[in-house]
C-alpha cells in the first residue's frame, strides 16, 4: 500500500536583493521530485550537502512552503492543506531532527519535551501523562528518573533518543528521519540505527530516511533515491543502486566512500580518476544544457535513472 507519494514536488526559496528587497531569483532547493513510500518500508534519500534532501523531508511536515506539486499522504494532498487543516495529520507524520543539541529546548525538562505532542492532541491527567512518558523513556533505553532532567544533562546519543521518544508518543505512521545519526559519534551511530530498526518492527513504522552516508543508507533502507541539485537522478532498491549504479553521479558518490582496506585503496583511486574522465566525456548524456538532470526513466521494474 502506498503511504506517501510525492508528485513533481518543487520547493523554491526566493532570493531577495536590491533596494526594496524584491525577489530577484529563486533557489530551486527541490525541483521536481517524485517518489513513493510503501507502508512499512524504509526509503532513503542520499546526496551531497545542499542537494535538497532536508528540504524535501521538511516539505512533507510543512516546515517549508511547497511551490508546486503534490504530497499525497494516504491519498490526501498535504501540500494544498492549510496549517489548521493539517493538524490531524501531525499525529501520523513525525520528524526526527539532525541535530540533537538544537532540537530539544534547553529550558524544558524531559517530561515536558516528550509530553508536548500528547498535550496537543490528548487530554490526559498528569499521572497518566507521566506514565506514558516513562514507558517511552523505557523503550528508548533511558532511566525513568530522566523525566526531571534537562537536555544538557544527557549525551548526544541520549538526546537523540529523547527526540525519538518524542516523535513516537503519538504513534505515527510515517517518520521522517533527517540524518538522525550524523551528529553522533560513530560508536553510538550503529546503536541508534539498530534501535530505529527495532522500533520500526514494533510500531510498524514507515521511514523516510535522509542521509549523506551511503553506507548508513544501505544498511537501513529497502529502497533509495539519489538526489543531486534538487532532482532525483537515480532511484531503486538499495542493492541495485549500490551494486549496479547507472547514473554518473551515483557512481561517483559510491566511489567516494572511503575504504579502509589498503589493497583496494589504490584501485579506488584509479576508479575515481576513471569516473572523473567519464563524467566529463558523457556529461550531456546525464544533464541538459542548464546542468539540470533529466527526468527519471525506468530501466527495470524497480530501477529508474535520469537519462536523456
Partner 1 sequence: MKVETGKNIQVKDVSPSGIKIIWQEIKKDKLAMGSLIILAAILLFVYGASLFMDAKEIAKVDFLSIYMEPSSDYWLGTDYGGRDVFGQLIIGTRNSFTISLFITLFTAIIGLSLGLLAGYFGGATDNVIMRIIDFVIALPQLMFIIVVVTIVPIFNVYVFILIMTMFLWTGKARLIRSKALSERELDYIHASQTLGTPHWKIILFQLLPNVSSLIIVNFILNLAGNIGLESSLTFLGFGLPESTPSLGTLISYARNPDVLENKWWIWVPASLMILVLMLSINFVGQALKRAADARQRRG
- The footprint of partner 1 (CB under 8 A) covers 58, 61-63, 87, 90-91, 93-95, 97-99, 102-108, 116-117, 120-121, 145, 148-150, 152-153, 163, 166, 170
Cell numbers at residue 193, please? 540505527
Could you say whether residue 188 binds ligand ATP (CB under 6 A)? no
Contact letters for Mg ion, residues 27-66 (x by CB under 5 A): ---------------------------x------------
Which residues 6+ apart lie within 8 Å of 251 measured at CB?
A: 245, 275, 278
Q: How far apart are CA 187 and CA 192, in angstroms?
A: 9
The binder of ligand ATP chosen from 51, 94, 103, 246 (CB under 6 A): 51
Gap between the Cα atoms of 132 and 65, Å rounded: 33
> Per rule CB under 6 A, is residue 160 in the interface with ligand ATP?
no
Our CB check for partner 1 shows the closer of 59 and 254 to be 59
Q: Which is nearer to ligand ATP, 50 or 298 (CB)?
A: 50
Beta bridge partners of 9: 33
User: How many angstroms separate the CA atoms of 259 and 74, rounded?
Assistant: 41
Strands (E), 117-273: 174-178, 206-210, 223-228, 231-237
Pairing of strands 223-228, 42-47: parallel
* Binding track, positions 207-246, relative to ligand ATP; x by CB under 6 A: -----x----------------------------------
Cell numbers linked to 153 = 544533562
Contact positions toward Mg ion, by CB under 5 A?
54
Contact positions toward ligand ATP, by CB under 6 A?
13, 27, 29, 47, 49-55, 212
Amino acid at each position: 500500500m502506498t503511504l506517501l507519494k510525492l508528485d513533481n514536488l518543487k520547493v523554491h526559496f526566493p532570493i531577495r536583493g536590491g533596494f526594496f528587497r524584491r525577489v530577484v531569483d529563486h533557489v530551486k532547493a527541490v525541483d521536481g521530485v517524485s517518489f513513493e513510500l510503501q507502508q512499512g518500508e524504509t526509503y532513503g534519500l542520499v546526496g551531497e550537502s545542499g542537494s535538497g534532501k532536508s528540504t524535501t523531508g521538511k516539505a512533507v511536515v510543512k516546515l517549508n512552503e511547497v511551490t508546486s506539486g503534490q504530497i499525497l499522504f494516504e491519498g490526501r494532498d498535504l501540500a494544498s492543506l492549510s496549517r489548521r487543516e493539517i493538524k490531524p495529520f501531525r499525529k501520523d507524520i513525525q520528524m526526527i531532527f539532525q541535530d540533537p543539541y538544537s532540537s530539544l529546548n534547553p529550558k524544558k525538562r524531559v517530561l515536558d519535551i516528550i509530553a508536548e505532542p500528547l498535550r496537543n492532541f490528548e487530554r490526559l491527567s498528569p499521572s497518566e501523562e507521566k506514565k506514558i512518558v516513562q514507558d517511552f523513556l523505557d523503550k528508548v533505553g533511558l532511566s525513568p528518573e530522566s523525566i526531571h532532567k534537562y537536555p544538557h544533562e544527557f549525551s548526544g546519543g541520549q538526546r537523540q533518543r529523547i527526540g525519538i521518544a518524542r516523535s513516537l508518543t503519538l504513534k505515527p505512521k510515517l517518520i521522517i528521519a533527517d540524518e538522525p545519526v550524523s551528529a553522533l559519534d560513530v560508536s553510538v551511530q550503529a546503536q541508534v540505527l539498530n534501535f530505529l530498526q527495532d522500533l520500526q518492527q514494533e510500531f510498524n513504522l514507515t521511514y523516510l530516511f535522509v542521509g549523506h552516508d551511503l553506507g548508513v543508507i544501505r544498511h537501513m533502507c529497502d529502497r533509495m533515491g539519489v538526489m543531486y541539485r534538487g532532482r532525483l537522478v537515480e532511484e531503486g532498491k538499495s542493492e541495485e543502486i549500490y551494486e549496479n549504479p547507472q547514473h554518473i553521479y551515483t557512481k561517483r558518490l559510491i566511489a567516494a566512500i572511503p575504504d579502509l582496506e589498503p589493497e583496494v585503496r589504490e584501485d579506488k583511486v584509479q576508479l575515481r580518476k576513471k569516473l572523473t574522465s567519464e563524467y566529463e566525456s558523457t556529461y550531456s548524456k546525464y544533464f541538459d544544457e542548464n546542468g539540470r538532470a533529466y527526468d527519471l526513466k525506468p530501466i527495470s521494474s524497480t530501477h529508474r535513472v535520469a537519462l536523456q
